[in-house]
Amino acid sequence: GANYVPMIQGAHVGVGISGQEGLQAVNNADYAIAQFRFLAPLLLVHGLSNYRRTSKLVCHMFYKNVLQAMLTFWTATLNHMSGTKIVVDYAASMVYAVLYTAAPVILLGTWDRDVEPETALRAPRLYRSGPDDRDFNRVV
């Protein structure tokens, strides 16, 4: 109900459950579910896969940018710091943008599945990888 609206708005991710009290909580939430029993799949299945995918993509984008900077420095060194561009053609820069930026996001979002949803629901300990920073930390 309306009593939960400040708590939902103050949370990192607010989940509203529609019920008899009205739709104030649902309207102010990031995610809305119809029944309380949908909370476990939302957290354990979708939360787990979203965290792991986001961790992989952040690491991919970071290392992609490091590689691009190193490639620029290496090319400048080989060209005796003459200011020659690495990619001269506009079409080549578009191919780069698609291959190294858009394609990993699309492929990871559609094909990445580490555990089946039933396994994630039966083994909630898998969810601990998020709070324990096992997938996204300084070492990775």
**Whole-angstrom distance, CA of residue 22 vs CA of residue 38:** 18
> Between 96 and 105, whose confidence is greater?
105
Both tokens assigned to 72: 């620029």
Direct distance between the N- and C-terminal alpha carbons of the chain, in angstroms, rounded to an integer: 42
Q: What are phi and psi of 84, to 5 degrees?
A: -70, 135
Helix or strand run (H / E) with residue 95: helix 90-97
Q: Is the pLDDT at 1 greater than 70, yes or no?
A: no
Please report the pLDDT score of residue 119 as a whole number.
93
Entry pTM: 0.71
Please report the pLDDT score of residue 118 as a whole number.
92
Q: Which residues pair with 22 in a beta bridge?
A: 19
100-120 residue pLDDT tens: 788 888 888 888 888 898 998
Please report the pLDDT score of residue 16 as a whole number.
87
**Whole-angstrom distance, CA of residue 1 vs CA of residue 19:** 8
